[in-house]
Amino acid sequence: QPRSRSWMLRQLSQLLAFSSVSAWVLAPRVVVHHPRLACIRTSACAEVPAKLPPASYEEAEGRGFELYQAGEYERAVRMFELAQTLPGAGSDYVREKQSGMIGSATAPPNPRGLKLERFATPEQKLIAQYNIGCCYSSLGDTRRATEILANYLRQVRRPLDQINEMIVDEDLAPVRDELLRMRGELRAKGKKPGLFGLPFGNPLRDIAAKVGVEWKD
């Protein structure tokens, strides 16, 4: 039975459509791997916060020790120098303003005008100087290290005891010969400290000697 041309075209279209679907179903599936992009300074990335400058002697001293242990001696020197200018264990009240009674020139100041200020104590500054001396010693700058340590010894109460400890300090090994020389100079002086640790003589000892009384320090 003859077929019309339109019928034949419909049959051909259905056959082509079936072939395309079969090829798509039977074809092997291709898996495409998309590389994951690394996170580079986006809002979703957690950035490491930068350290703020130290706000106290203790904080600066701690960072100085960290830098020293990391071998960054020059940066450690700057941190120990900074520590001496920051608030430390010392404290005092200072007046912010004069706030006496209105209309009275002789009225006592208002204590509420005081504020508490903190500062590094002399002992803390001495410790920082010692640490700076250790840094210069580790840098190999023996001249600068010796100058700082000599200044340190001039400010402590018992320099001979201090220098004995410094001689066995491994951080000061590069300047040990200079420390031994300074200890010899201290021993050569052989002069006992005066009254209350003052550098001049003890007047009470002199008086006791004149009246024939034995004086014991």
pLDDT single digits (tens) 26-74 = 445 544 444 444 444 444 445 546 779 999 999 999 999 999 999 999 9
pTM above 0.85, yes or no: no
Sign (positive/negative) of CA torsion 152, 158, 164, 169? negative
pLDDT single digits (tens) 169-217 = 999 999 999 999 999 999 988 665 555 555 555 666 666 666 666 656 5
What is the enclosing helix (H) or strand (E) of 168?
none
How many Å apart are CA 21 and CA 149, to the nearest integer?
Answer: 91
Cα angle 69, 71, 74 (rounded to 5 degrees) comes to: 110
Beta strand 90-95 with 114-119: parallel, antiparallel or unpaired?
Answer: antiparallel
Residue 2 in this model has a pLDDT that exceeds 80: no
Which residue do the tokens 């009254």 mark? 195
Structural domains for the chain: 57-98+110-185 (1.25.40)
What is the enclosing helix (H) or strand (E) of 163?
helix 159-167
Phi-psi region of 129 (alpha: psi -120 to 50; beta: other; left: phi over 0): alpha
How many Å apart are CA 138 and CA 62, to the nearest integer?
Answer: 18
pLDDT single digits (tens) 92-134 = 888 776 554 554 555 555 556 788 899 999 999 999 999 999 9
CA atoms within 13 A on the CB side of 118: 10
